[in-house]
Amino acid sequence: MPTVVSVFGVEPIRIGGTETFARELSVQLGQKGWKSVLCFESEPPEDVASFLSLPNVTPEVLKNSTDFNWTATKQLARILRRYRADILHLHFTGFVGAFPWLARVLSVKKVFFTDHSSRQENYVPARAPFWKRSLVQLINHPITKVICVSKYGCHCATTLELLPGNRYELVYNGVDLSRVKVDSGRGAAFRKRFNVPDDRKIIVQVSWVIPEKGIADLLEVARLVTSKRTNTQFVIVGDGPFRQQFTNQANEMGLGDNVTWTGLMKDPFGEGVFDAADVVCQLSRWEEVFGWMIAEAMAFGKPVVATRVGGIPELVDEGKTGFLVDRADAQAAAEKVLKLLDDEVLRKALGCAGRRKTETRFDLQTNVGELLRVYGI
């Protein structure tokens, strides 16, 4: 059976965008008579393992795949030999490494790399120095195609000129719309679980709890909004090394009763995060290459307030599916949140438009089908 080996340099700790992509890829490969080998940094927990389990799927653990690591290289060599891989696809592994040449030596027919990397705040794409272009072109010569998940990502990558322009392909990330079923009961259960009063409107941000995701800006938005509407609850879904610092900051700002920290949620869809939300924010400061959580919110018909950075404007159409504000402009973001909270008709209109856009551009099934076309399957 022909085989695709997918290497994901992340731990599969939740049913999120990466895991739903891996499952849909495996489903469509199975329909074509192909085997799917899914390599993660660690063993998935039982619920994630069950989600990924399909007749044509074999899970593998490939540790330290994000580093230029000799042990990981030897381990991947064993995997490629064991399954006689026809295609190797690298995700979250770093652009420059030994894996592409390893695949070439072991007669893997095609090698793909997906660029999932967000860029630093105020990043300006520029052509790389000659020495760097020459070195990277040699190291990455075996790569068949680089998959870009947004036009912004394509622009950043091609501007560097580390590979010829025809080696880049745009395939947007997507949302598994078959899992998007609005359920008010789930939303009510979410409120009860986190003690959110029934009369409060909920503003959600799903992200790592790190400065780059604009958490400090979101807390300032919460201060401005709750000063005018006390019946609002800001819910931050996620975890990270700065969670305690930002929790302390929220308390110092007098927001303790109006901000909820859920921690990491294994399955935001199934646990009612988007069912409960009235407005979804994504106030990132760095240049997001895509914005998976934005697409997921739009799939649930929720209006979005987000920063005008990176690839986010490719998802949020200003005034049509949500609102865009400049990075770190908490005042503007608060005004847009208040506008949405005060106008239910507007919330529904923007939410419906977002759902339609997700169906036409960010449908996971369609976009994975496009990826298989790029594979040549």
Using CA atoms, how far apart are residues 89 and 111, in angstroms rounded to an integer?
6
Q: What local confidence, expressed as pLDDT, does residue 91 receive?
A: 97
The mean predicted confidence, pLDDT, of the chain is: 96
- For the chain, the structural domain boundaries read 3-174+363-375, 178-361
Residue 189 one-letter amino acid: A
Q: pLDDT tens-digit profile of 12-67?
A: 999 999 999 999 999 999 999 999 999 999 999 999 999 999 999 999 999 998 87
Here the tokens at position 154 are 């394509």
Matching fold, domains 3-174+363-375 and 178-361: yes
Using CA atoms, how far apart are residues 2 and 84, in angstroms rounded to an integer?
8
User: Of all residues in the chain, what percent carry a pLDDT higher than 70?
Assistant: 100
Whether the predicted pLDDT of 138 surpasses 90: no
Using CA atoms, how far apart are residues 337 and 339, in angstroms rounded to an integer?
5
CATH number of the structural domain 3-174+363-375: 3.40.50.2000
| 139 band by pLDDT with thresholds 50, 70 and 90 | confident
Of the candidates 179, 177, 171, the residue with the CA atom closest to the CA atom of residue 368: 171
Using CA atoms, how far apart are residues 353 and 347, in angstroms rounded to an integer?
10
Q: What local confidence, expressed as pLDDT, does residue 373 receive?
A: 98
Using CA atoms, how far apart are residues 240 and 253, in angstroms rounded to an integer?
20
Q: pLDDT tens-digit profile of 278-334?
A: 999 999 999 999 999 999 999 999 999 999 999 999 999 999 999 999 999 999 999
Whether the predicted pLDDT of 108 surpasses 80: yes
Q: What local confidence, expressed as pLDDT, does residue 182 receive?
A: 87
Which regions of the chain does DSSP assign to beta strands (E)? 3-8, 35-40, 57-61, 87-91, 110-115, 145-148, 168-170, 201-206, 232-237, 259-263, 279-282, 304-307, 322-325
Q: pLDDT tens-digit profile of 173-206?
A: 999 999 999 899 999 999 999 999 999 999 999 9
Using CA atoms, how far apart are residues 346 and 190, in angstroms rounded to an integer?
24
Q: What local confidence, expressed as pLDDT, does residue 94 receive?
A: 84
Using CA atoms, how far apart are residues 90 and 88, in angstroms rounded to an integer?
7
Give the CATH fold of the 178-361 domain: Rossmann fold (3.40.50)
Of the candidates 301, 270, 304, 296, the residue with the CA atom closest to the CA atom of residue 190: 270
